[in-house]
Amino acid sequence: MNYTTGKIKVRYNETDQMGIVHHSNYLKFFEFARIEWLEKLKMPYLEIERNKIILPVVNCELKFLKPLVFGDSFKVKVHCSKKPTSSIEFSYDIFNSRGEKTTEGRTLLAFLNSDTMKPLRCPKIISDLF
């Protein structure tokens, strides 16, 4: 299952002194894409939280291929790598406005009960999406 965001523009506050997107912002781009994708699947994150489920990131990987700079436009492609169990894995590719892949990444999120902070199996409301 894939999803690609609309065009996103790099803002000045997302760059470092060299005008290049600071590495910390890529996880925010990934989160934006992931949450937007869940909304498109009719499973907004607020609905997940209403069901006493939270999804903390427990692992992440980034590979930078080309820099994004202030003023660039880009899209994020997100893909759920495998069927969720007690965690869910997402893969990401970022493409600049010229269609060049600039970044590859992956995040692993765990399903937790928000009251007890204990791990959960993937809830049916989410597994049904896959």
Region 68-92: what's the mean pLDDT?
Answer: 94
R_g (Cα) of the chain, nearest Å: 16
* CATH code, domain carrying 36: 3.10.129.10
pLDDT of 3-49, one tens digit each? 999 999 999 999 999 999 999 999 999 999 999 999 999 999 999 99
Count of the separate structural domains present in the chain: 1
* Residues taking part in catalysis: 16
pLDDT of 20-29, one tens digit each? 999 999 999 9
pLDDT for 80 equals 92
Q: HSE of 61 in the Cβ direction (CA atoms, 13 Å)?
A: 10
pLDDT for 128 equals 85
64 contacts 23 by C-beta, under 8 angstroms? yes
pLDDT for 127 equals 87
Domain residue limits at 81: 2-127
Question: What pTM did the predictor assign?
Answer: 0.93
Q: Please write down the HEC assignment for all residues of 15-80.
A: ECCCCEECCCHHHHHHHHHHHHHHHHCCCCHHHHHHCCEECCEEEEEEEECCCCECCCEEEEEEEE
pLDDT for 3 equals 94
How far is the C-alpha of 37 from the C-alpha of 32, rounded, in Å?
9
Tell me the CA distances in angstroms from 127 to 23, 31, 47, 124, one per residue in order: 32, 19, 14, 5
